[in-house]
Amino acid sequence: MQLKIYNSLTAEKEIFKPILEGNVGMYVCGPTVYSNVHLGNVRTFLSFDFIYRSLTHLGYKVRYVRNITDAGHLTDDGDVNNDRFVKQTRLEKLEPMEIVQKYTVDFHKVLDMFNLLPPNIEPTATGHIVEQIELTQKLIEKGFAYESNGSVYFDVLEYNARGLNYGELSKRNIEELFANTRDLDGQGEKKNPQDFALWKKASPAHIMRWNSPWGEGFPGWHLECTAMSTKYLGETFDIHGGGMDLKFPHHECEIAQGKACNGASPVNYWMHANMLTMNSQRMSKSTGNYILPMQLVSGENDFFEKSFHPTIVRFCFLQAHYRSVLDISNDAMLASEKGFSRLMEALKILNSITPNDEKQSGFSLEDWKTKCYDALTDDFNSPVLIAHLFEAVKFIFALKDDKETISTKDLEDLKSTLNAFVFDVLGLQNIEENNNEKLDQTLQVLIELRNQARKSKNFDLSDQIRDKLLAEGIELKDGREGTTYVLN
Ligand code: AMP
Ligand code: ZN
């Protein structure tokens, strides 16, 4: 089985060859924790969660690193008033690290809700200031960077003069870039408008600041990812991911920093996830065209007619390939909900099927498995994989109606393969099973409260608990072993 990955750098689907056989080093740009993540951000992280799960399922040992951007997210014009942390700090009158903590916790809660697995390492930009200063020094020593008025910039023209190619990922022509960029940043501090900041001098108003050989300041955004990916995955590693919008300038700058520092391209396979749109417009905080994950799950929004369980949202997202744009809509969510319950029903039916070793089945399990793995290894094609899973669903319903048969061996194989794809690879959750567990836990609490009421001779309350549950169709039965319940 050969895994093919679309490499944004070469714009081709390539056969995946890891640096160390059987192992994968993967870095994905994490969130800037200055506000709540919106559903669009979730889509990108979910795409890479699916890729991580798929690689693991295919037998790779993955070291998955996803950072937290918690230092000043430098804007193009370098204006301190545009630093996202400073802005939000003023607004909420909190310490910058209080903002960071608040939204990091929120980010984890949201990803947990959608059943995303945690990365193996989750480094923060503020925890790697020393490494970023060292990288900046190295770039100055090698002649790729220069200091100007307490800030340090990467010299894009020098980089190109040495035969390296700034713009290779975004396929931008340097002359074009020069013609189209205005020098807004640093009031003439830069040699060329395309030069980007590695280290930025902190103005008196800037709260997040660190000592450096160039005075007090803070690191540039692009540098943190180079520092952290190099530290945990090496100078060249297998996969780097992020949203499509990060290709330029963020990832372009990462390539330049890596090549300038180490003489080699830092990443073998660049993977970019496409955008989530709503009303056919990219979801984004700045335009106001966004929905927060909790608003969708709770139903408190004006866009969707009802609330949807996070696993339905996950299923909906995975029905689009990670490189395609996905427009979220009420109809798409309703269709996902319907498809999801059919899938869960099929899994339930599978447990009650009696195999038949005498009759020949019209369904070839081997062919079906091959098709599923072909889809998964074809650049992680989740919609095609899901379509194949539904062929199995159709077959299971035919088994139920005695229109098909299956051997004992195939039945076990189908069960384990389908369960692995649905729960391990797609990361879906069985809502019904979870609900049953919750119901049981809740009833145990009520039984305990009723016992306490009886002990303290509060029979009014204990009878009320019993009668109200009975009215809801839940009968409590007192026996020698304690109290049990029956759902009528
Ligand atoms: P940020 O916190 O702004 O750096 O964004 C975190 C991640 O979300 C990045 O990888 C972005 O590319 C991604 N992202 C932002 N907007 C969208 C969107 N509408 N759809 C999918 N991904 C997005
Ligand atoms: Zn990054």
DSSP state of 315: H
- For residue 378, the 8-state DSSP code is B
Per-residue confidence band for 274, with pLDDT thresholds at 50, 70 and 90:
very high
Q: Please count the other Cβ atoms lying within 10 Å of the Cβ belonging to residue 121.
A: 15
Identify the weakest region by mean pLDDT among 262-266, 271-275, 308-312, 438-442: 438-442
CA distance 445 to 185: 61
Question: Among the atoms of ligand 1, which is closest to the Cα of residue 283?
Answer: 19
Summarize pLDDT for 445-479 with one digit per residue, the tens: 999 999 999 999 999 999 999 999 999 889 999 98
pLDDT single digits (tens) 53-73: 999 999 999 999 999 999 865
User: Which of the residue ranges 80-94, 197-211, 253-267 would you say has the lowest mean pLDDT?
Assistant: 80-94
- With 60 as the cut, is the pLDDT of residue 387 above it? yes
Topology of the domain comprising 277-425: Isoleucyl-tRNA Synthetase; Domain 1 (1.10.730)
Q: What whole-number percentage of the chain has pLDDT above 70? A: 93
Q: Please state whether beta strands 151-154 and 196-201 pair in parallel, antiparallel, or not at all (unpaired).
A: antiparallel
Nearest ligand for residue 278 CA: 1
Does ligand 1 have an atom closer than 6 angstroms to the CB of 278?
A: no
3-state DSSP call for residue 76?
A: coil
254 is in an annotated binding site: yes
Shortest-distance Cα residue to atom 9 of ligand 1: 243
pLDDT tens-digit profile of 285-322?
A: 999 999 999 999 999 999 999 999 999 999 999 999 99
Whose CA is closest to 256, among 210, 291, 225, 290?
225
89 band by pLDDT with thresholds 50, 70 and 90: low
More confident residue, 323 or 193: 323
Tens digits of per-residue pLDDT, 222-242?
Answer: 999 999 999 999 999 999 999
Pairing of strands 267-273, 237-243: parallel
**Which residues have a Cβ under 8 Å from the Cβ of 341 and sit 6 or more positions away?**
none
274 lines ligand 1 (CB under 6 A): no
CA-atom Rg of the chain in angstroms: 27
57 labelled ligand-binding: no
Structural tokens at position 315:
């299923």
At 78 the pLDDT is 41
Closest ligand (CA of 84): 1
- Report whether 453 contacts 461 (CB < 8 A): yes
pLDDT at 440: 87
From the CB of 241, is ligand 1 less than 6 Å away? no
pLDDT of residue 192 exceeding 60: yes
Measured in angstroms, how far is the CA atom of residue 243 from the centroid of ligand 1?
Answer: 6
Enter the tokens of residue 393. 């669903």
Q: Domain map of the chain by residue range?
A: 4-273, 277-425, 431-487
pLDDT-derived band at 204 (thresholds 50, 70, 90) equals confident
- Give the tokens for residue 460: 């009014």
Say yes or no to pLDDT of 74 above 50.
Answer: no
Residue 84's pLDDT is what? 72
- CA distances for 213 relative to 130, 139, 199, angstroms: 11, 14, 10
Place of tokens 């690193």: 65
**Residue 271 CB less than 6 A away from ligand 1:** no
- Tell me what pLDDT residue 75 has: 38
CB 150 within 8 A of CB 214: yes
Find the ligand nearest to 46 CA. Answer: 1
Which pLDDT score, from 0 to 100, does residue 96 have? 86
Percent of the chain with pLDDT over 90: 83
CB 325 within 8 A of CB 278: no
Q: Does domain 4-273 have CATH number 3.40.50.620?
A: yes
Residue 225 assigned as binding residue: yes
Q: How many angstroms separate the alpha carbon of residue 287 from the centre of ligand 1?
A: 14
pLDDT at 183: 47
The total of other beta-carbon atoms located within 10 Å of residue 418's CB is 20
Distance, in Å, from the CA atom of 39 to the CA atom of 17, rounded to the nearest integer, reads 33
From residue 252, alpha-carbon distances to 167, 170, 202 in Å are: 6, 7, 25
Residue 243, ligand 1, Cβ within 6 A: yes
pLDDT recorded at residue 478: 92
Alpha carbon of 268 to those of 51, 293, 368, 401, 473: distances in Å? 16, 33, 32, 50, 60
pLDDT tens, position by position, 148-177: 999 999 999 999 999 999 999 999 877 776
Asked whether residue 81 carries a pLDDT value surpassing 90, the answer given is: no
